[in-house]
Amino acid sequence: MMFAIMFAFWRFAEILTLIPIMGMLAWFVNIHLESNVMTPTYILLLFIVSVLALAWSIFTLFSYHRSSANAQFVALIDLAFVGALIAGVYYLRFIARADCASVQAGSSVDVDFGILGSARLTGFDVSVNKTCAMLKACFALGIMNCVFFFITAVLAWIHGDHAVKTERRYVETRRRSHSRHRSHSRHRSRSGHRSGSRRSSHSHHRAYV
């Protein structure tokens, strides 16, 4: 039960953070396709990985019974996505040093306080580069998903190892109970055979007399 709650929680976290990555990078891919220009590797790689990871997360969340039965396989796939996400984030690493926002002094405003005097307030104009901000957001969300998929991989591996040990104990218990049942049946058949032999010899003796 605890595994199900933790696994579902982190899967939801992965889905909620992968959807923005896929949506923003899809916008970049669409722009390059309309311009008939090749999409850069740092965009295309993370986009493909995010699409596959999102599909895998949704599939394993809604088919939980299959996922729990094949927990070790799920753990291996999650680890593979960790590596793929690290590669995608690595190609996009240059955006971490980029300054996507600039703050400049704006127009001044005179404020009159009556008999207390007046003051001049200077505002600020903040300009944000949309492309830079979106790529930086994808970069941060990609790092978060590296951690999320590693956590689900560890959870699935622990659950799968526990399930394998439980199944081995169950098989050993069944074998022991089956062997005990067979030995008990043999003992009963031998006892019945001996009592039958005694009865037959006794009846034969009576017929002879």
- pLDDT tier at 29, thresholds 50, 70, 90: very high
For strand 101-112 and strand 118-128, is the pairing parallel, antiparallel, or unpaired? Answer: antiparallel
Place of tokens 């790092």: 143
For the chain, percent of residues with pLDDT exceeding 90: 45
pLDDT at 167 over 50: no
pLDDT at 177 over 50: yes
- pLDDT tier at 106, thresholds 50, 70, 90: low
Tell me what pLDDT residue 118 has.
Answer: 57
Task: Please report which helix (H) or strand (E) contains residue 123, including its range.
Answer: strand 118-128
Residues 23, 139, 98, 37, Cα dihedral to 10°: -50
- For range 128-155, the mean pLDDT: 93
pLDDT at 208 over 60: no
Distances (CA, A) of 167 to 60, 123, 164, 171, 179: 22, 69, 5, 6, 18
186 versus 87: the higher-pLDDT residue is 87
Domain regions of the chain by residue span? 2-97+134-164
As beta bridge partners, residue 104 has 125
User: Assign residue 182 a region: left if phi > 0, alpha if psi is -120 to 50, beta otherwise?
Assistant: alpha
Place of tokens 């941060």: 140
Instruction: Please choose, from the candidates 5, 145, 159, 2, the residue with its C-alpha nearest in 3D space to the C-alpha of residue 68.
Output: 159
Tell me what pLDDT residue 103 has.
Answer: 63
- For range 91-108, the mean pLDDT: 77
Convert the pLDDT of each residue in 30-88 to its tens digit: 999 999 999 999 999 999 999 999 999 999 988 877 666 788 889 999 999 999 999 99
Tell me what pLDDT residue 119 has.
Answer: 59
180 versus 17: the higher-pLDDT residue is 17
